[in-house]
Amino acid sequence: MSVQTRLERNQKVRLIDGRTVTVIDKLGEGGQGIVYKVRLDNTGKEKALKWYYVSKLNDPKGFYKHLQDNIESGPPSSAFIWPEQLTEWTNNTFGYIMDLYPSGYVGFSKFITARANFASATAMVDAAINIVKAFEALHNKGYNYQDLNDGNFSINPNDGSVLICDNDNVMGHGGYSGILGKSRYMAPEIVRGEKKPDKLTDRFSLAVVLFILFMGDHPLEGKKTNVPALTSKYEKKFFGEEPVFIYDKNNDSNRPIPGLHRNAIARWKYFPSYVKEAFQQSFSKESLLKGDSNSRLLEAMWIHVLMRLKSSLVKCPHCNSDVFIESDRDMSCPDCKNNIHIIGYIKFPKRANINVCIPIYGGAKLYDYHIVPAEKNSSSCAGIVLEKPGKVGLKNLSKLKWTIKAPDGSSATRDTNEVAVLGKGFTIDFGKGIVGEVMSN
């Protein structure tokens, strides 16, 4: 059987809806095929065409049908560069077209190799939030990704917006694309051969991606994994049979090595306790060795953790560096080491059993997410903490009327752009049923 594994420039390929595309250029190649830039002959619009190495597919006919189903069902959200139309079978193989990447996006791998970096700490946290939201949308649609790794998404370094590509292995619940995933991103139970990819194993890979995004090193690579040659035996051991988180709470056998895992050592200290705990839970012994579903954070839980982080970005009063601060305790600045005193926090009702709060510290921000029930918008600022000698306040930047009550029974309302002075034991009703409580440390 002769297969046309590569297309020629100017070659025409027919789509199943009768339209044709003309090959313009090659864009890249991967394990499953080559991606070309093509032009739709009827409109002149440029698209990307993924062209398969058909022998790399376990069941090419089944896969073709699978892609057709995904195309019909549509993308989970606008963050996905989703297959748009299949080609006809052509010389014993096939492909599909999708949108080209808009400009401004950089592959996540380039952040890993430090060829790209975020314009701001907010963009970094927003990127994490956007990645989590994309996979939440995917899982909510009943899909799982199966092969989540550093090569699957691109990020705009300026605003943290995210695009997910390589969506052809996305499967409905119970489906199996034949791809187990990429080494170092696969859940340990897959490496051990106990399981095929599903939603729960996606969540492990998601935690790896988030860890790498923030810390710049791999969560399971430290002292224990430092061998001259990474053979399959070691790979299975480090990522399947005996994985240990580099910052495991109870086991320090795989700590990062100074001089080698420089990012992990330098960056771990920049993150507040609740972020560290979320990673310690995600990569706990139970999660790594038993695939324990309770250890793996649901996407919704990550959003609550990450929104808390986003709210907590302020300037160090001593050295003016950007810092993520704690809420319920003092801390030392990771840059200048001076103490940062945090007097308290506003506590919101828990969500998905995760604490929701913002520190009471000048510059800390409140988002619509905090004050509007079920609000998904993570970027719309609804308030900011202000400080002046002897006083702290919360400026209302939302369109809602806030009602503030003091323990002595007095109350007041604050409209847009007005400032509510905060005192111990105060409550704020934000106008849509959410009440925050001022807690002092």
User: What residues numbered 244-263 form the site for another protein, per CB under 8 A?
Assistant: 257, 259-263
State how far the Cα of 307 lies from the Cα of 311, in Å rounded to an integer: 6
Confirm or reject binding of residue 200 to another protein (CB under 8 A).
no
CB 370 within 8 A of CB 382: yes
Selected binder of another protein within 17, 18, 25, 43 (CB under 8 A):
25
Q: Which is nearer to another protein, 136 or 166 (CB)?
A: 166
CB 350 within 8 A of CB 359: no
CB 184 within 8 A of CB 204: no
Q: Which is nearer to another protein, 256 or 344 (CB)?
A: 256
Q: How far is the CB of 225 from another protein (least distance, A)?
A: 8
Q: How far is the CB of 335 from another protein (least distance, A)?
A: 6
Q: At what angle do helices 199-215 and 299-311 cross, to 10 degrees?
A: 20
Q: Which is nearer to another protein, 90 or 109 (CB)?
A: 109
Three-point CA angle 67, 72, 76, nearest 5°: 90
The distance from CA 169 to its chain's CA centroid, rounded to whole angstroms, is 19
Contacts of another protein in 148-177 (CB under 8 A): 150-151, 154
Selected binder of another protein within 228, 258, 390, 409 (CB under 8 A):
228
List CB contacts of 231: < 8 A, sequence separation 6 or more: none
Q: Which is nearer to another protein, 226 or 413 (CB)?
A: 226
Q: At what angle do helices 121-140 and 199-215 cross, to 10 degrees?
A: 170
Confirm or reject binding of residue 85 to another protein (CB under 8 A).
no
CB 410 within 8 A of CB 404: no
Stretch that binds another protein, among 12-20, 178-186, 297-305, 355-363 (CB under 8 A): 178-186
Q: Which is nearer to another protein, 84 or 322 (CB)?
A: 322
Q: Which is nearer to another protein, 190 or 438 (CB)?
A: 190
Q: Which is nearer to another protein, 20 or 109 (CB)?
A: 109
Q: Which is nearer to another protein, 102 or 349 (CB)?
A: 102
Q: At what angle do helices 273-282 and 299-311 cross, to 10 degrees?
A: 160
**Joined tokens for residue 56:** 């790399």
Q: How far is the CB of 369 from another protein (least distance, A)?
A: 22
Element (H, E) at 137: helix 121-140
Q: What would the x/- binding string for another protein be over residues 403 to 422, using CB under 8 A?
A: --------------------
**Joined tokens for residue 137:** 């949308």
Confirm or reject binding of residue 92 to another protein (CB under 8 A).
no
**Joined tokens for residue 373:** 């029930």
Stretch that binds another protein, among 25-33, 387-395, 413-421, 424-432 (CB under 8 A): 25-33
The 10 Å CB-count burial string (b at 16+, else e) for 387-397 is eeeeebbbbbb
Confirm or reject binding of residue 310 to another protein (CB under 8 A).
no
Q: Which is nearer to another protein, 39 or 267 (CB)?
A: 267
Selected binder of another protein within 39, 110, 141, 237 (CB under 8 A):
110
Residue 22: count of CB within 10 angstroms of its CB:
15
The 3-class secondary structure across 86-126, one letter per residue, is EECCECCECEEEECCCCCCCEEHHHHHCCCCCCCCHHHHHH
Stretch that binds another protein, among 69-77, 211-219, 338-346, 430-438 (CB under 8 A): 211-219
The 10 Å CB-count burial string (b at 16+, else e) for 319-329 is eeeebbbbbbe
State how far the Cα of 129 lies from the Cα of 210, in Å rounded to an integer: 9
Q: What would the x/- binding string for another protein be over residues 323 to 362, using CB under 8 A?
A: xx---------xx---------------------------
Residues in contact with another protein, counted by CB under 8 A, come to a total of 77
Residue 342 burial class via C-beta count within 10 angstroms: exposed 0-12, middle 13-18, buried 19 and up: buried
Confirm or reject binding of residue 294 to another protein (CB under 8 A).
no
CB 138 within 8 A of CB 170: yes
Q: Which is nearer to another protein, 184 or 365 (CB)?
A: 184
Q: How far is the CB of 98 from another protein (least distance, A)?
A: 8
Stretch that binds another protein, among 49-57, 273-281, 373-381, 411-419 (CB under 8 A): 49-57
Selected binder of another protein within 40, 106, 300, 421 (CB under 8 A):
106
Contacts of another protein in 112-141 (CB under 8 A): 112-115, 117-118, 120-121, 124
Selected binder of another protein within 13, 212, 244, 307 (CB under 8 A):
212
Q: Which is nearer to another protein, 16 or 106 (CB)?
A: 106
Q: Which is nearer to another protein, 220 or 382 (CB)?
A: 220
Q: At what angle do helices 299-311 and 121-140 cross, to 10 degrees?
A: 160
